[in-house]
Amino acid sequence: MDLELSFAPKNGVFEWIKIRDNDLKSYLEDPLLPRYLVDKVKDVLRKYEACVKYYDYLKNISKNY
């Protein structure tokens, strides 16, 4: 998923990052997620956190226009 998300900001597809961000957060709630993957999922979430915030910012600005 990290590779997939790395292409999205380069192509301006911030909405896709937001969607996948929500998916990753749901993985952390999954009791079947192996413990060794928890930190990896959190790392990916942290890596794209700025993109998600930027998308939310753009979305809020567009509501005002």
The DSSP-derived string for the chain is -HHHHHHHHHTT-HHHHHHHHHHHHHHHH-TTS-HHHHHHHHHHHHHTHHHHHHHHHHHHHHHT-
Task: Give 45's pLDDT tier (boundaries 50, 70, 90).
Answer: very high
Could you tell me which residues come within 8 angstroms of residue 51 by beta carbon, excluding any fewer than 6 positions away? Answer: 5, 8, 9, 14, 17
- Alpha carbon dihedral 26, 31, 36, 37, in 10-degree steps, equals -20
pLDDT tens for each residue of 24-34: 999 999 999 99
Task: Give 52's pLDDT tier (boundaries 50, 70, 90).
Answer: confident
pLDDT tens for each residue of 4-24: 888 888 888 888 888 999 999
- What pTM, to 2 d.p., does this model score? 0.75
